[in-house]
Amino acid sequence: MDIQNILLVLSVIGLNQAFTLDYDYGGIPLWINRLRGEPSVLSLHGRMDSRWFRAVNPQACPTECDCPIQWPSSVYCDQRGLRNLPIDIPPRTQYLFLQRNNISTLPADAFSNATHLHWLLLDHNQLISGLVAKTMLANLSYLENLFMNHNNLTEVPSGLPHGLRQLRLAYNKIQKISPRAFHNLQNLTLLLLQGNQLKTIGEEDFTGLLSINLLDLSQNYLEEFPKHLPPSVQQLYLSSNFLSGLKEESLQGFHSLRYLRLSHNQLRNMALAPNAFNLSSMVELDLSYNQLTSIPIMPSTLQYLYLEVNHIQEFNVSSFCRTVGPVDYSQIRILRLDGNKLAYHQLPPDWVMCLRVLHHIFI
């Protein structure tokens, strides 16, 4: 088999496995744009002998890493047991994979020879905030995706490049966000902070985030629905905190919010304002695994509602429809009520008219 056929086989295998092995980092998929030459796999570990890559690629490559010829701007140094960064990262590098090592320190000149980085993956290392230089990212003006999930960071890294579009800091030990830590990130669309130790959100914590679409604050220690969140957010995840209620104004100003996840909290009806969820832009709401005894009032535009595993004993049509008529009905498509104290025969006769476009109901 000649070299072109081997490369074709490798490309097919890589593309096929990218979606099964490498697709999910920090709980949110990484969408790959192949038209830009972005690599289709996030790891070459176990795919082929490193000696093969060196045999077919004449370009310089760090001894600890692999540099596949089909992605000439990618350098794979993941899962090598590294304690320090490779010292000879090629200047051509745009996609650098350093995940699943034992790196704890990032000096100021860590990437001085690789200033054209677009992706930097540092997930599953031992990074410590005090050992990460504040100017470490200063010269990475092309950086778009920064992955630092599953480390030992206690604060948001300083000097984040203004071109960042994705910042993944999930499953660290961050207890507090420094004011204006994100003030320079007007282009950031995704911010993952789940699995940290945040207790409150300050007034200036998210200042500067003008383009955020997805913000994940799940699995923290928040006891109140946070104020001062970016109003541009479309997907807001607050599952697995210690929230007990929402105020009337909690969601005011979120005119783009479409998906809200509040599962695995301690939500109670008595702590929920009557119109807490009255937001016409919302499409999906997850209130599962809470302590609700009745269904809160929902906007008629809502399409997906998850209420499983609460303590609901009664189905109130008024929670979905203030009035029922030819043009007055709920847009609910999927409704989950399983795991509650409610049976199908307890549904009132007029529920069908209110939920007339319903596809599935689980009781």
pLDDT in tens, 202-229: 999 999 999 999 999 999 999 999 989 9
Residues with Cβ within 8 Å of residue 139, at least 6 apart in sequence = 111, 112, 115
Cα angle value 261/263/269 (rounded, 5°) = 105
Going by C-alpha positions, the residue among 119, 79, 129 that lies closest to residue 102 is 79
Identify residue 339 by its one-letter amino acid code: G
Cα angle value 37/140/60 (rounded, 5°) = 60
- The answer to whether position 198 is within a domain reads no
pLDDT computed for residue 129 by the predictor: 95
Q: How far apart are CA 327 and CA 250, in angstroms?
A: 29
- The answer to whether position 321 is within a domain reads no
Asked whether residue 121 carries a pLDDT value surpassing 50, the answer given is yes
pLDDT computed for residue 287 by the predictor: 98
Q: For tokens 């985030």, what's the residue?
A: 209
Instruction: Give the residue, 14 or 330, on which the prediction is more confident.
Output: 330
pLDDT computed for residue 180 by the predictor: 85
- The answer to whether position 194 is within a domain reads no
At residue 258 the predicted structure's pLDDT band, cuts being 50, 70 and 90, is very high
Of all helices (H) and strands (E), which one includes residue 28? Answer: strand 28-29
Radius of gyration of the chain (CA): 24
DSSP 36: G
Going by C-alpha positions, the residue among 107, 59, 69, 67 that lies closest to residue 85 is 107
- The answer to whether position 130 is within a domain reads yes
Average pLDDT of the chain?
A: 89
Q: Report, as an integer, the average pLDDT of 66-93.
A: 93
- The answer to whether position 83 is within a domain reads yes
Asked whether residue 109 carries a pLDDT value surpassing 90, the answer given is yes
pLDDT computed for residue 188 by the predictor: 98
Which structural domain, as residue segments, surrounds residue 29? 1-173
Are 140 and 165 a contacting pair, CB within 8 Å? no
Q: Within the chain, where are the H helices?
A: 3-21, 50-56, 351-354
Q: Report, as an integer, the average pLDDT of 136-164.
A: 95
Asked whether residue 325 carries a pLDDT value surpassing 50, the answer given is yes
Q: How far apart are CA 360 and CA 60, in angstroms?
A: 57
Q: Report, as an integer, the average pLDDT of 14-19.
A: 35
pLDDT computed for residue 40 by the predictor: 85
SS3 (DSSP) at 9: helix
pLDDT in tens, 29-47: 777 887 777 888 888 887 7
- The answer to whether position 232 is within a domain reads no
- Return the number of other C-beta atoms located less than 10 Å from residue 292's C-beta: 19
pLDDT computed for residue 17 by the predictor: 33
At residue 10 the predicted structure's pLDDT band, cuts being 50, 70 and 90, is very low
- The answer to whether position 363 is within a domain reads no
Q: First and final CA of the chain: distance in angstroms?
A: 58
Asked whether residue 257 carries a pLDDT value surpassing 80, the answer given is yes
Number of domains within the chain: 1
- The answer to whether position 51 is within a domain reads yes
Query: Percent of the chain having pLDDT more than 90?
Result: 76
At residue 55 the predicted structure's pLDDT band, cuts being 50, 70 and 90, is low
Asked whether residue 15 carries a pLDDT value surpassing 60, the answer given is no
Size (the chain), residues: 363
Q: What is the token pair recorded at 171? A: 């499953």
Which domain CATH number covers 79?
Answer: 3.80.10.10
Residues with Cβ within 8 Å of residue 224, at least 6 apart in sequence = 200, 243
Q: How far apart are CA 83 and CA 95, in angstroms?
A: 20
